Structure 1
Amino acid sequence: MKITRGNALRGLRGYGAVAALLITLTGCLAGPAQYYEGTGVHDATAAEAAGAWESTQGTAMTLRPDGTATVTRLDGWDFDFDEGWRLSGRGAWSLSDTPDGQRLRLELTARTGVDRRADATRPPPDGGEPPTTYAWRFHVDRDDRRRLVLFFHFGDPDAGNTYVMTRRPSATAAP
């Protein structure tokens, strides 16, 4: 076959199509958290989100109806989790709605304490201190009983790890 400009261009288009296919397939190999959009929940209210929440190893947060919050030993989200610090303090929270579902933003504005997890996989950048202010974005979901659940993804996005906060049982709740 004689190589002409037309044949060369068709060959390049063929390589371009193969490259585009490989890029698309590589993107599909990403973990579930990397491209997570939301839960599709749109019916949560601020009054429903207000209250005491907890997770593992003494993590807790209280979301007050006036939009203020307290946080106890809350880990960083996304890759910040790997640094192992756990923040305590005061701040503010708000509930927002996106086409993909609701999110709760929690902002720490006054740090009152720092703890460190023993299983941290990397030190803070430049050996520095954990942040004095910080913001988390929780996805809002519902469990099988339609109760609110708050969560964020942490660590390597390919792993799909979720950090779940559940409503703290009230002292008057039946067992």
Structure 2
Amino acid sequence: MQKLKSDNVDTALDALLKIDALLKDPLKRSELTGHVDQLITAICCQLRIVRETHLNDESMNCKEMEKLCKDLLLVLLSLLEIDPLATEVTENPLRCLIAELIIFMVEKRLEKFANAFAIQRSVNVVVLSLIEHTDKTACGLALLRLLMSSLKDLKRCDTFRELTLKTF
């Protein structure tokens, strides 16, 4: 999971490939039990790296970036479809993930991707899946804390607040 936090796109893609294989193997996916929060935190970290670093780099290969975004979302969906693992996610990693996904959803720099609309639609699907499959109490608390922090932080855009409200 450490490799997933890498700012090297190839390293992150390789880590995602291994995690995806682990999730798809019913005999091996139990190895993730007790480590789901770490995985969610690593995915949050990679989403932040994409947003803060890669999207600012004009020399970055857009196809590689699209693949990284797509693979991050696919791993999240795979994880959320496995109920015993999805319900393990606790409030803080969930809050971080929802915040990153909301910010990612309104990210204008994604428009340079050929499949920007598909990526944004996939983010919507992931958020709905989070709400559906994670622990309801943890999810509700995460959303409530996100909303409270967005109301306190006037620097946050109105769109962030509106999207946080819509997830309720």
TM-score range, shorter chain: under 0.3
Which structure is larger by alpha-carbon Rg, 1 or 2? 1
State TM-score, norm by structure 1. 0.26
Q: Which has the higher helix share?
A: 2
Q: Which has the higher strand share?
A: 1
State TM-score, norm by structure 2. 0.27
